[in-house]
Chain A
Amino acid sequence: MGAITRRPILAAMIALIVLVAIRLSFIVVPETKMALIVRFGAPNRVLGQSQAGINWRIPFFENTVWIDKRVRDVDMEQQQVLSTDQLRLQVDAFARFRVIDPLRLYIRARSEDRVSQALRPILGSELRNELGKRSFASLLSPEREGAMENVQRGLNRVAAQYGVQIIDVRIKKTDLPEGSPLESAFERMRTAREQEARSIRAEGAKRAQIIRAQADAEAAQTYAASFGKDPQFYDFYRAMQSYQTTFLGDGQTKPAATQIIMSPDNEFLRQFRGGAAR
């Protein structure tokens, strides 16, 4: 104590250094991270893997490497997949992973970003291999869920080497490649629509024709039921109507001027000649 009071500035400086050392000797690990303690370059222990909180370390001798504990993603570049039926499909997928063994991650890849980079091409090739075993139609179908599990399994084997775990692999996009595949798909859609349009028109025409024929048939039936009661009288009745229409028109259009030359033998002129019996 006496020494401190005698040399206050030195004492203050020592105290300051001690305080800084103390400050450096504990380390607050947040929920989102793990701290890998590296002693002289050699990874020593992991803090905060299961639980965040405060921890101790030896200042100046131990360094901290922060590793993200959260779920991260590997976004793959678009891949062209050739299906078994030789059709091309543009596939875009992503994987999500989580660090489970930070020590291994540090030794093998140093950082999560580098793991992400390392996994990206592998995700691509796994995906190409797996989807390449399938037909084009099944690439689009829900059956591809099974494919994703296989990709995830394959990717996990590699991921385990880096101390990370793949929790999900998912296809984001499946598109037809630009150019002829896309154009031919459009063409197919267009022709399919044309076919549909034609068949709709034909169907409409068919139904219209049937409706007309039905009407004709019903009308014929009506006529037959009525006129059939006395065909002879109908013949006379209809002839009378016909003369009127033929010579005088139906009231809408005037017929051509008509001249009639009648023989005195004509039935109409029977009485005219004196009522001679026929």
Chain B
Amino acid sequence: MTVFSGWGSRARGLFADNKSPWGPVSGPGEDEPPREGPRSPWSDPDRGGQSPSGGGATNSLEDLLRRGRERLGGGGGRSGGGGGFELPSGGLMVWVGLALVAAWLVFTSFHSIAPEERGVVTTLGRYNRTVGSGIGLTLPYPFERMQKVDVENIRNVDLGSTGTETLMLTGDQNIIDIAYSVRWNIRDPELYIFKLQNPDDTIEQVAESAMRAVIGTVTLNDAIGQRRGQIEAQVQENMQRILDHYQAGVLVQGVAIKQADPPAKVNEAFKDVTAAQQEAASYINSANAYSLQLRQKALGEAGAFDRIYAQYKLAPEVTRRRMYYETMENVLGKVDKTIIEAPGVTPYLPLPPAGRSATTPPAVQQGAAK
């Protein structure tokens, strides 16, 4: 019965401890013995068996040490014949046991938490607190556990890798080949560990679902073209909303569409559209060139005429004559001429060979100047 009452008091002490928010700060020295109690059946049955024979609860580490020393030196002291047979090695075993206890305390109570990590502490299974980076103190192992969670590291999920085709239907019932990635990190480490059975898979599924939902509302041209940024923002927002609904404790940092192309099978047709645009542009360019040329030519000719006309106006008859003679000189000076003096006489005409002369211009007739 003393065993039970002893255990009971320990357990009560334990609970009292847990209720105090300052549990781990109060120092390991005072809290140890009760904690050691439940553990003893497995870790060190010898000592567990020993405590009833010791007759009462061990209340502090000092107590334990003192008793260990007594046993070591005094050959058992109060324990009497019970532990007698293990005396020679018993002392050593106590020391080894104490060393183990000390190691256990150090390794399970002190946690170094990296700058990017948070430590989620559970006290007897129940979530107790989340501690920041640095040295985190907890009660030793079976009472408090700490899970370190990397909250700063931004994770990247790639969906629809660029090598393979991931086809999605757009709102206008076209098909798009898309590759995107989602960056996220953990916002609430305790939610992240406790609320979802499979957070990483969930994020992937939600990302795919959100992306397809958004792509399903836009047209193919929008998805390929300028609305990418808008789509990314919308997917991010949707994902965050869904994940918050799951209490995933995850923050979606961003969604990046790496590739949004028409499927390979229709890519040629899409390229042809681009080619058509280029061609259309080149049609227009050459028309513009023609237009410029023609207008300049018109202006040039009109300008020339205007100037000559201005001179002609000053002396119409003379100018007209001068121009006529100058032209005739120019023309007749450089071609073969035959003049038929007497009317009715038909001389031998040295006409050029047929074919070449088919377009021989007719004789300059009178009245050209009129």
Contacts and interface: CB of A to CB of B under 8 A. Distances in A.
Interface of A: 1, 4-5, 8, 11-12, 15-16, 18-20, 22-23, 28-32, 48, 51-54, 68, 70-73, 75, 94, 96, 136-137, 140-142, 144, 167-168, 170-176, 182, 185-186, 189-194, 196-198, 200-201, 203-205, 207-209, 211-212, 214-216, 218-220, 222-223, 225-227, 229-230, 233-234, 236-237, 239-240, 243-244, 246-248, 256-269
Contact of B283 (A191, A204, A248): A204
B163 interface: no
Nearest to B15: A54
Contacts, number: 329
A193 B194 contact: no
Given A18-B3, A223-B298, A267 B367 contact: yes
Nearest to B313: A230
- Give the size range of B's interface with the partner: 35 or more
B122 A31 contact: yes
Interface stretch (B23-31, B129-137, B304-312): B304-312
B364 interface: yes
B53 A176 contact: no
Interface of B: 3-4, 7, 38, 40-42, 45, 48-49, 52-53, 55, 80-83, 122-127, 142, 167-171, 173-175, 190, 193-198, 201-202, 205-206, 208-209, 212-213, 216-217, 220, 242, 245-247, 262-263, 265-266, 268-270, 272-273, 275-277, 279-284, 286-288, 290-292, 294-295, 297-299, 301-303, 305-306, 308-309, 312, 316, 320, 323-324, 327-328, 330-332, 334-341, 343, 349-352, 356-357, 359-361, 363-370
Contact of B339 (A54, A144, A200, A269): A269
B349 to A, nearest CB: 7
Contact of A264 (B292, B334, B339, B350): B339
Contact of B327 (A12, A233, A240): A240
Contacts of A8: 53, 81-83
Nearest to A211: B287
Given A32-B194, A51-B126, A168-B246, A141 B368 contact: no
A266 B365 contact: yes
A240 B350 CA distance: 27
A186 B265 contact: yes
13 contacts: A12-B49, A31-B190, A51-B126, A71-B197, A140-B173, A174-B169, A185-B173, A189-B263, A193-B266, A204-B282, A218-B295, A244-B327, A247-B361
A22 B292 CA distance: 103
Contacts of B263: 186, 189
Given A173-B212, A196-B273, A263-B363, A52 B122 contact: yes
Determine the main DSSP class of B at the interface with A.
Answer: helix
A4 B82 contact: yes
B288 A211 contact: yes
Contacts of A144: 216
Contact of B336 (A1, A192, A260): A260
A177 to B, nearest CB: 12
A211 B305 contact: no
Across the A-B interface, give the 7 residue pairs with the lowest CB-CB distance, nearest first. A204-B280, A215-B291, A226-B302, A193-B269, A219-B298, A208-B287, A197-B276
B209 A170 contact: yes
Nearest to A87: B173
A29 B125 contact: yes
B165 to A, nearest CB: 11
B20 to A, nearest CB: 15
Contacts of A4: 52-53, 82
A266 B365 CA distance: 6
